[in-house]
Structure 1
Amino acid sequence: MHAAYHPLKLEPLTGDLRKDIVQFLRLNGCPKTAEHSIRVGREAKRVAELYQVNAMSAEIAGYLHDISAVYANDVRIEVARSLGIDILPEEESFPLIIHQKISREMASDLFHIHDQDILDAVGCHTTLRQDATLLDKVLFVADKIEWDQAGSPPYLNQIMQQLDKSLDHATYEYINYLWRQKEKLRVVHPWLRDAYYELRAQME
């Protein structure tokens, strides 16, 4: 096992991914993330079914997307380097964002997920990316609907309205929400910027 995983508490996998994810996150001090991940998995499945996307893949991606929460922000860049992850300057200056890439590696290494579509969705669930797949968008939207903060997201009604139109409309609604306040963001991730311009062109 990779040295980056040595500090983590790991139990043998049961074959029930939902149960294994909850156990893993709770064992490693992230019970709230466990609850969030289950909600995202459920919502991702629901959104996937609306748009004829593989619902099982969406649910799995939802369970896995935040497993890197077990690493504190101040060690994430070190962990990413040790796992051989390509680190962008924006991620180095704001390590929270690189959690999506770390989760991708953990999903493969610790939970033996080798479906590239699932791994790719996990790996861009915070920022999205250019040429995003339908599964990428499903997880992206589900994560924003079932956010990990207290209360309801300020953009929830708008996203739900747009989701009635199309998956792209819902995806763009959130990216545009961020873009309108980009001056307040710590960083503008290049993947987010690329996704914004691509979706904006499609919406026009």
Structure 2
Amino acid sequence: MHTIFENLTKKIEFTSDLKRNIHLFLTINKCPQTADHCIDVGTEARRLAFMFEANHEAAEIAGWLHDISAVFPNSERIDISRQLQIDILPEEELFPMIIHQKISKVMARDIFGITDQEILDAVGCHTTLRANATLLDQVLFVADKIAWDQSGAPPYIEELNRNLKNSLTHGAFAYINYLWERQETLKVVHPWLKEAYEELKNKVSIF
């Protein structure tokens, strides 16, 4: 384990219960709302996985893990990423919040011992998605947008749910398109999001 994680884990006695470990990790490190959000996203990811014939256990685990990097404030995330030897894109340097997906991926592997590459990759793109997204990538991406971490109903939820009736890809595109239509309000347009938009736009047009 990287030394940067030692202070975060030294007070925790990990057990074989991964869900409990993750919730405890976030709670002890002063992120109780994120802890609850991660459990909610895990539940939603499991539901979507059953709907779209994805691996429901992997989906739930990815949901539990996706925001574990919330323990690092935005102001520290670029420095943390450098220490973890994570590739940093210019857009991420400008808007460090968005690199939390990459940090969570490393933490899932190094702190919680996740070796399933599909789970790690889904965690690593859950905010932006990516080109050539796997089924699990899309499940986690959509679950995170449905079980969002703010009060009230998401402003895009009706459109997303309507499109989800067609396919998971339609649901994922509905959210990305929502952002795309409002990109002038975004701090940055992440290149992975742009690539996912272009790819999914073509896919939904031929359904």
TM-score range, shorter chain: over 0.9
Give, in angstroms, the shift of residue 35 of structure 1: 0.6
Give, in angstroms, the shift of residue 12 of structure 1: 2.6
Equivalent residue runs for 1:1-204 within 5 Å: 1-10=1-10, 11-204=12-205
CA distance in 2, matches of 1:154, 1:114: 35
Give, in angstroms, the shift of residue 31 of structure 1: 0.2
Deviations 1:118-153 (A, max 9, x none): 000000000000000000000000000001111110
CA distance in 2, matches of 1:78, 1:201: 37
TM-score using structure 1 length = 0.98
Give, in angstroms, the shift of residue 51 of structure 1: 0.6
CA distance in 2, matches of 1:5, 1:18: 19
Give, in angstroms, the shift of residue 160 of structure 1: 1.2
Amino acid at match of 1:152: A
Deviations 1:14-34 (A, max 9, x none): 111111111000000000001
The SS at the match of 2:187 is coil
Instruction: Check whether the contact 1:9–1:27 (CA below 8 A) recurs between aligned residues.
Output: no
Give, in angstroms, the shift of residue 158 of structure 1: 1.3
Give, in angstroms, the shift of residue 9 of structure 1: 3.8
CA distance in 2, matches of 1:93, 1:169: 30
CA distance in 2, matches of 1:139, 1:84: 25
CA distance in 2, matches of 1:56, 1:13: 20
Moved more, 153-162 or 129-138: 153-162
- In structure 2, stretches of 5+ residues that fail to align are none
Cα-Cα RMSD = 0.8
Q: How many residues align?
A: 204
Amino acid at match of 1:129: R
Moved more, 152-161 or 170-179: 152-161
CA distance in 2, matches of 1:9, 1:20: 10
Amino acid at match of 2:202: A
Give, in angstroms, the shift of residue 7 of structure 1: 3.2
Moved over 6 A (4+): none
Moved more, 159-168 or 2-11: 2-11
CA distance in 1, matches of 2:79, 2:8: 15
CA distance in 2, matches of 1:174, 1:100: 17
CA distance in 2, matches of 1:82, 1:127: 23
CA distance in 2, matches of 1:140, 1:132: 10
Amino acid at match of 2:6: H
Amino acid at match of 2:2: H
Amino acid at match of 2:94: S
Give, in angstroms, the shift of residue 3 of structure 1: 2.1
